[in-house]
Amino acid sequence: MVTAHIAAIGTALPPAFEQSSLWENHFRALLNGSRAAGRIFASAGVQRRHAVVNPLQLDLSECTTGERMRWYDAYARPLGHKAVLSALDSAGLDPTDIGQLTVASCTGYTAPGLDVQLAASLGLAPGAQRLMVGHMGCYAALPAMATVADFVTVHQQPAVLLCLELTSLHVQPSTMDVEQIVSHALFADAATAVVVTPEQGRLEVVATAALTDPSTADHMTWTVTDHGFRMTLSRYVPDVLGKHVRDAVEGLLADHGLTVPEVRAWAVHPGGPRILDTVQHELGLPSSALQPSQKVLRDNGNCSSATVLMVLDEILGSTVLRPGDPVVAMAFGPGLTLYVTLLRAR
């Protein structure tokens, strides 16, 4: 039976900005020097973030959605192109080898879409299939990767998943709303591409499971407004995640004869420090288990759908994995929705 494997991961990042500088030189004045807001920025677990437009030079908070989409159109294609080429180079493949390109993004829309733009700039074969995954939010990478893996196993051709998010384009007009301040303190831009191949690679994509609690749908939303896309991020999100994460993870592992202590590495989307603390507590993980997630959050912020793939890349670069070692990737977002993917080291 043909199986799908992650062969390589490549990330492209725009210019970096220190969290302390963003607070002192931009957000502090916009938030009236609020000490409470300053504490939120300081405790977000973020040291630096990346943004395609320098927030210290241009405040996008009053821009219209149309203006923000023009920024997206200008910056998304070059950043995505760089990430895909990086991943393909690491995998030893050429763009013409790719049978399918899937692009996940919830921070910008255009037609022809980013998938078409990249097919042209990369020089994909004219018959290469394309798929756009939009508006799923931070968990989009995992259902998208499951779909890419299905393509690879059926068609026995390599495929690429690109998760590209330019969240900084959607900074909102400043208010003292705590939820908005948390969003301003966490989110950043990134593009991460994953090459998935039949039979050969570093991690086999084994299975993916999902759990959605629609009774909490208002806890996390992503709404198109006249001034960009506005996030609602309730302080109760970690509590809801805590109710479901153990059952979701243990159910997927049990289907494959595994238990939580047998998992060698955890790629958990770092939605924020409380999220990581909740996952660690509910699963009974040692403090070291989530260090890759904490590092990605510290160095890059929350880059929405790209983030969990960045954590996987960090694990591949820093963790000794033996053949057969189980690895779990986990991400969550609007719904509230939790996705869990089981992988095995090769």
Q: Which residue among the candidates 63, 138, 163, 303 is catalytic per the annotation? A: 138
User: How far does CA 29 lie from the centroid of its chain?
Assistant: 30
Tokens of 304: 């929405």
Start-to-end CA span in the chain (Å) = 16
Would residue 303 show up in a list of annotated catalytic residues for this protein? no
Residue among 10, 8, 152, 158 at smallest CA distance from 81: 10
E strand or H helix at 90: helix 65-91
DSSP 137-189: GGGTHHHHHHHHHHHHHHH---EEEEEEEEGGGGPPPP-S-HHHHHHHHHB-E
DSSP 276-341: HHHHHHHHT--GGGGHHHHHHHHHH-B-GGGHHHHHHHHHHHHS---TT-EEEEEEEETTTEEEEE
Alpha helices in 211-268 (DSSP H): 237-255
In a 3-state reduction of DSSP, which class is residue 263? Answer: coil
φ, ψ of residue 173 to 5 degrees: the values are -55, 135
Tokens of 39: 């504490």
> Known catalytic residues?
138
